[in-house]
């Protein structure tokens, strides 16, 4: 049976980058429309999702409410967004599958991902939260080192420890091989590291694309598809004029330093790692063209 892992970008879901819940649900409506692609029960499907805008928004809420109620550490904020985004995705997928006549089940698994403890304190690279225009930045109250510039905008960055393995992988595998659509590793998973016989939460946000690769490799998937807000990978970032439609893994690996840290670069790193560890094809494309990406008619295809 064919196995496909699909990563849904947090920015692609929340195109408005708004704190307004109803606006955010416009993005989830796209997921309901995607459900018809999952009718074929001869293809095992697992989904992951990002949480870049949402975890940043939740972090702001925690920081502003700290004087009234105790806030949560970042790893638990990731757990909160994993649950809320996963619930929205599951509800929309279930509805879409029922409307299309499919009886496939959908499950969301709150996932812990083991990271390298030594990597937790590395330079922050993961972009989260809203975009701030340079004219609106208050440098007196914000630490310049916690923000990265994108043109006229700035965005907060936090540590992004590399994923090593998935704690709940056997539970995910059981449901996946049963034929259910499994949603896991949301926002890259809750980062934890081993301590004795247990686990300790690590401050940071795991890149969901790198976690998706760990999941895809663990489930022996043939294809890994990363859906984002760009139709292709481009040769000339940030102009976005020269799309790469098909490329071999060795060639894109040689170009990897030219891609943006914290956004496109980890997507390409995830694809390279997936193919080098046995995957057959990795695709990066637009969530708005998801069906075309699934059919191989759109997106950047990376092969061995």
pLDDT in tens, 194-228: 888 889 999 899 999 999 999 999 999 999 999 99
Higher per-residue confidence, 127 vs 243: 243
The mean pLDDT of 142-161, rounded to a whole number, is 79
Q: Catalytic: 126?
A: yes
The pLDDT of 165-194, averaged and rounded, is: 96
pLDDT at 192: 96
CB 284 within 8 A of CB 271: yes
Active site residue 11: yes
Among residues 10, 50, 56, 285, the one annotated as catalytic is 10
254-288: pLDDT as tens digits: 999 888 776 889 999 999 999 999 999 999 999 88
Candidates 32, 162, 208, 265; catalytic one? 208
Can you give the residue ranges of every domain in the chain? 2-115+165-303
Q: Residue 244: which H helix or E strand, with range?
A: strand 243-244
162 an active-site residue?
A: no
Class of domain 2-115+165-303: alpha beta
Residue 140: band (very low, low, confident or very high) from pLDDT cuts 50, 70, 90? very low
Q: Residue 77 — very low, low, confident or very high, per pLDDT cuts 50/70/90?
A: very high
pLDDT of residue 20: 45
Q: Is the pTM of this model over 0.85?
A: yes
Please tell me the chain's helix, strand, coil percentages from 3-state DSSP, rounded to the nearest 5.
Answer: 40, 25, 35
φ, ψ at 193 (rounded to 5°): -135, 160
* Per-residue pLDDT at 17: 44
32, 126, 162, 265: the active-site residue: 126
Cα angle at 226 between 222 and 231, to 5 degrees?
A: 125
Q: Is the torsion defined by CA of 141, 135, 9, 250 positive or negative? A: negative
Q: Are 194 and 165 in contact (CB under 8 A)?
A: no
CB 225 within 8 A of CB 247: no
Residues facing 8 on adjacent strands = 49, 227
pLDDT value at residue 236: 76
151 is catalytic: no
Residue 267 designated active-site: yes
Q: Pick the catalytic residue: 32, 162, 230, 267?
A: 267
């Amino acid at each position: 049976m064919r196995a496909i892992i699909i990563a849904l970008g947090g920015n692609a879901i929340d195109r408005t980058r708004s704190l307004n819940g109803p606006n955010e649900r416009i993005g989830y409506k796209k997921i309901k429309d995607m459900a018809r692609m999952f009718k074929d029960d001869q293809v095992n499907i697992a989904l992951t999702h990002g949480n870049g805008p949402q975890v940043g928004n939740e972090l702001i809420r925690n920081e502003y409410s700290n004087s009234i109620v105790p806030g949560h550490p970042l790893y638990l904020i990731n757990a909160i967004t994993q649950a809320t985004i996963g619930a929205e995705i599951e509800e929309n997928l279930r509805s879409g599958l029922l409307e299309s006549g499919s009886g496939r089940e959908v499950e969301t698994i709150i996932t812990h991902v083991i990271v390298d403890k030594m990597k937790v304190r590395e330079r922050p690279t993961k972009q989260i939260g809203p975009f701030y225009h340079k004219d609106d930045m208050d440098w007196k109250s914000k630490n310049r080192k916690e923000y990265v510039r994108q043109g006229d905008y700035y965005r907060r960055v936090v540590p992004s420890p590399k994923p090593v393995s998935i704690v709940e992988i056997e539970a995910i595998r059981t449901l996946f091989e049963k034929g259910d659509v499994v949603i896991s590793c949301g926002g890259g998973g809750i980062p934890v590291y081993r301590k004795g016989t247990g686990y300790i939460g690590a401050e940071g946000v795991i890149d969901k694309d790198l976690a998706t690769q760990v999941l895809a490799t663990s489930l022996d998937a043939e294809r890994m598809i990363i859906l984002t807000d760009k139709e292709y990978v481009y040769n000339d970032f940030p102009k976005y004029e020269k799309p790469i439609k098909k490329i071999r893994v060795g060639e894109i690996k040689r170009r990897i330093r030219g891609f943006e840290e914290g956004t496109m670069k980890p997507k390409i790193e995830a694809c390279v790692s997936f193919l080098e560890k046995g995957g057959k094809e990795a695709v990066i494309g637009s969530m708005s063209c998801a069906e075309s990406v699934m059919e191989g008619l759109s997106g950047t295809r990376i092969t061995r």
